[in-house]
């Protein structure tokens, strides 16, 4: 039985990915030695699982579906930029969360409580919901990067409606990670609407 590098996340819809192209391109223009994440791969990680035995994935799928059925669709907005761990030694450039931050924390806590039941431990670090824009490979033009951070402090992407949670598989390649969904679990209201529509066909 093989291992699957996986995580639970909220994928970004097409309208957000289009808006991310603008800020990603401006980040590249700093020439600060940052490898930007493709907008096509944009997501908000709720829980990184690491390498998981494929047999255990069925249990994880059941947990994701169970938690999803207890959460109604909610509004989410992306706002402001920042870095991990700090501006003196930046490693990750991210886009922050405006509306919906509390709901993301709630879902993350619910997932972790259920995952404990199958032996997957909680994160020791405090959860900080964010969307990764890029990672520093070899820092150059640090002043340009700091200037970029300051000029994009108020960057904002209009709110979206979150309707599903996705269990993702990640395959690491030389050109970057390749993601594929293993499960897309509809949130409560969305699940009810979908079921009603399916039963109403014909």
Q: What is the number of other CB atoms lying within 10 angstroms of the CB of residue 104?
A: 20
C-alpha pair distances (Å), 29 with each of 25, 87, 129, 145: 6, 18, 26, 10
Is 151 in contact with 163 (CB distance < 8 Å)?
Answer: no
The per-residue pLDDT for 178 is: 85
| Nearest of 70, 71, 76, 117 to residue 96 by alpha carbon | 76
Beta-sheet pairing, 164-173 with 176-186: antiparallel
Hey, is 198 helix, strand or coil? helix
Distance between CA atoms of 22 and 14, rounded to whole angstroms?
14
120-171 residue pLDDT tens = 999 888 999 999 999 998 999 999 999 999 999 999 998 999 999 999 999 8
Distance between CA atoms of 27 and 176, rounded to whole angstroms?
18
Is 121 in contact with 111 (CB distance < 8 Å)?
Answer: no
Report the catalytic residues: 43, 130
All domains of the chain in start order, with CATH: 3-200 (3.90.1140.10)
Distance between CA atoms of 168 and 176, rounded to whole angstroms?
15
Distance between CA atoms of 102 and 44, rounded to whole angstroms?
14
35-84 residue pLDDT tens = 999 999 999 999 999 999 988 999 999 999 999 999 999 999 999 999 99
Q: Is the pLDDT of residue 194 over 60?
A: no
Is 185 in contact with 160 (CB distance < 8 Å)?
Answer: no
Label residue 190 by pLDDT band (50, 70, 90): low
The per-residue pLDDT for 2 is: 77
198 CB-near residues (< 8 Å, 6+ apart):
none
**pTM here?**
0.88
Q: Which helix (H) or strand (E) holds 133?
A: strand 131-136
Label residue 98 by pLDDT band (50, 70, 90): very high
Lookup: tokens for 45:
């990680």
């Amino acid at each position: 039985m093989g291992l699957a590098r996986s995580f639970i996340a909220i994928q970004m819809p097409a309208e957000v990915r289009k808006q991310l192209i603008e800020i990603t391109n401006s980040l590249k223009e700093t020439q600060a030695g940052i490898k930007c994440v493709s907008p096509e791969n944009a997501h908000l990680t709720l829980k990184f699982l690491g390498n998981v035995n494929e047999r255990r994935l069925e249990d994880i799928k059941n947990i994701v579906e169970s938690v999803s059925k207890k959460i109604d669709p909610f509004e989410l907005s992306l706002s402001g930029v920042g870095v991990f761990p700090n501006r003196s030694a930046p490693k990750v450039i991210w886009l922050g969360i405006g509306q919906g931050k509390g709901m993301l924390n709630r879902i993350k806590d619910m997932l972790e409580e259920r995952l404990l039941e199958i032996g997957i431990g909680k994160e020791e670090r405090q959860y900080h919901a964010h969307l990764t824009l890029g990672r520093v490979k070899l820092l150059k033009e640090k002043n340009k990067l700091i200037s970029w951070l300051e000029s994009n402090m108020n960057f904002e992407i209009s709110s979206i409606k979150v309707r599903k949670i996705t269990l993702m598989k990640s395959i690491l390649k030389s050109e970057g990670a390749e993601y594929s969904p293993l499960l897309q679990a509809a949130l409560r209201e969305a699940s009810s609407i979908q079921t009603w529509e399916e039963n109403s066909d014909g």
